[in-house]
Amino acid sequence: MRKEEVFIGGWTLESLKARSQTERHQVWKRARALHSAEGNHLARAIERLGLPYAEPEPLAEDSPLLTQMRTLFATPAARAAALEATLDGMPALAGLDVLLHETLGEAYRRDPAAAATAEVLTAELMASLGFVEAGRKDLPPRCVARTGVFWRRG
C-alpha cells in the first residue's frame, strides 16, 4: 500500500483536489509567501495537479447572478451591512457576504467567481459612500469569501 505524501500544513493531493479553485489559490499563495523549500514544494504540487488554482475573475456582464448581486447591493440593507461590518473593524464584505449567502444561497456559495464579483461590487459601494481602502483582513470563517478590503473614511 502506497502512503500518500503529506505537504507542509498537512495537505495531501487528495485534500487539495477536494478544495475549490479559490481555496487552492489561497493555499498556493500562502505556500509561495513562505519562501521556503517546504512552501515551494507545496506550491509546485498544486501547480502539477492540473486543476484550476488561480483567483477567479468576476462574473461576466451577462450573468444572471451578477444582475441579482447588483440588485442586492443597491438596497439599504446592503449599505447597512457594509457599514456595520466596517464600524465593527471588519472588511465591509464580511457583512455583505452573509447577506449574499442568505439571499442568493447556493448560487452565490458555489460559483467561484461570485466572491470575486462581491469584492468588486463592495469596492464600488464603499467608494460611493466616501470610503478608501485601508488594507486587507481575513473574513470570519462563516463567510464564503476568505479575505476582504478594510475601509476607512476618505
1-5, 60-64, 112-116, 130-134: segment of lowest average pLDDT: 1-5
Dist CA 28 CA 17 (whole Å): 13
pLDDT, tens digit (0-9, with 9 covering 90-100), for 12-28: 999 999 987 778 888 99
List 153's β-bridge partners, or say none. Answer: 131
The predicted pLDDT at position 133 comes to 94
pLDDT, tens digit (0-9, with 9 covering 90-100), for 40-80: 999 999 999 888 887 777 888 999 999 999 999 999 999 99
Helix (H), strand (E) at residue 111 = none
E strand residue ranges, 13-143: 131-138
* Total-model pTM: 0.69
